[in-house]
Amino acid sequence: MTSMEARHLDDTFAALADPTRRAILDQLSRGEATVNELAEPFQMSLPAVSRHLKVLERAGLVTRHRRAQFRPCRLEAAPLAEAVGWLERYRRIWEASFDRLDDYLKTMQRENDDDDTP
Amino acid sequence: MTTRHEVARAEGRDLRLSRWFDAPRELVFRAWTEPEHMAQWWGPHDFTTPVCELDPRPGGVLLLHMQAPGGAIMPNEGEFHEVDPPALLTFTLRAFPDERGEARLHVLVTAAFAEARGGTELTLKVDVLRAVDMEGPLSGMEQGWSQSLEKLRDLLAAPRGRA
């Protein structure tokens, strides 16, 4: 890993380390939202929400764009996928195989039982 | 056709997974070593294994060609090392060949089968021996944006003090 990649990952993990920021990302995973909409569930001041958004923007997890007079925030999942990394995806492939093995073992046992019936 | 594989210096990373199965370990071991059974569960959901050859003894060959829902074939090949029914299985697997036919991923799989709570506790260790440019190939194996999004939500889920 290069030092640039390491710093990038540091930003991502620092962004995720705060429960409010995680909640903001969770909401954005359901769709774009303005700063007002994001602040509402937390009863938090707009500057406080903006500070959290800046951390998320620096990590590349959130971008903002313009729609009419609004500047909605949008989730960018790619940095998170990088942080999770290929090894975690690979783990999930094994776990999916285990799910299938679990089901298949039941089939194997039913077939064994059928063989045993006189 | 055999390709010459260089096993690069150990990447040093490993995965550990455990799962309990409601079946005797002799049966679980058979599911891992008999090709007609292994083909039924190997790989992600909706993948099939049209080619499955297993010779479960030290040095014996493994050949597992998975087919993705879109039709792409992903070959896995390797050899068994330890075969100790019904307790232990170790094998090497190589997958994701590059343009020259060199496998991008080499892993050493150690599967331990233990009797537990009337069933079998499977403990798996996957040692990554080689992994080159693995980001791309695996993204093709994940299904659908909505599933990824669900996983993202799980990753983000945390207790929070909502009003």
Q: The tokens of A85 are what?
A: 């990394």
User: Phi, psi (5° rounding) for residue A102?
Assistant: -55, -50
Position B9 scores a pLDDT of 30
Least confident of A1-5, A7-11, B80-84: A1-5
Say yes or no for a CB contact (<8 Å) between B131 and A86. yes
Q: Which residue of A has its CA nearest to B32?
A: A101
Nearest CA-CA partner of B29 in B110, B87, B76, B78:
B87
The Cα B90–Cα B56 span in angstroms is: 10
Give how far Cα B50 sits from Cα of B36, B66, B137, B141, Å.
Answer: 10, 7, 20, 17
Give me the numbers of helices (H) and strands (E) for chain B, helices first please: 4, 7
A20 at the B interface (CB within 8 A)?
A: yes
Residue B75 near residue B97, CB atoms below 8 Å: yes
Q: Residue B156 class from Cβ within 10 Å (0-12 exposed, 13-18 middle, 19+ buried)?
A: buried
DSSP assignment of B23-75 equals S-HHHHHHHHH-HHHHTTT-SSTT-EEEEEEE--STT-EEEEEEE-TTS-EEE
The percent of residues in chain B predicted with pLDDT above 70, rounded, is 77
**Chain A to chain B Cβ contacts (< 8 Å):** 108
Its ipTM equals: 0.81
The Cα A91–Cα A107 span in angstroms is: 25
Position A68 scores a pLDDT of 79
Say yes or no for a CB contact (<8 Å) between A104 and B41. yes
Report the gap between the CA of A6 and the closest CA in chain B (Å).
17
Say yes or no for a CB contact (<8 Å) between B40 and A104. yes
B19 at the A interface (CB within 8 A)?
A: yes
Chain A positions touching B122 (Cβ under 8 A) are 98
Q: How far is CA A91 from the centre of its chain?
A: 16
Confidence of residue B1 (pLDDT cuts 50, 70, 90): very low
pTM of the model: 0.64
Tens of pLDDT, residue by residue over B79-135, are: 999 999 999 999 999 999 999 999 999 999 999 999 999 999 999 999 988 888 887
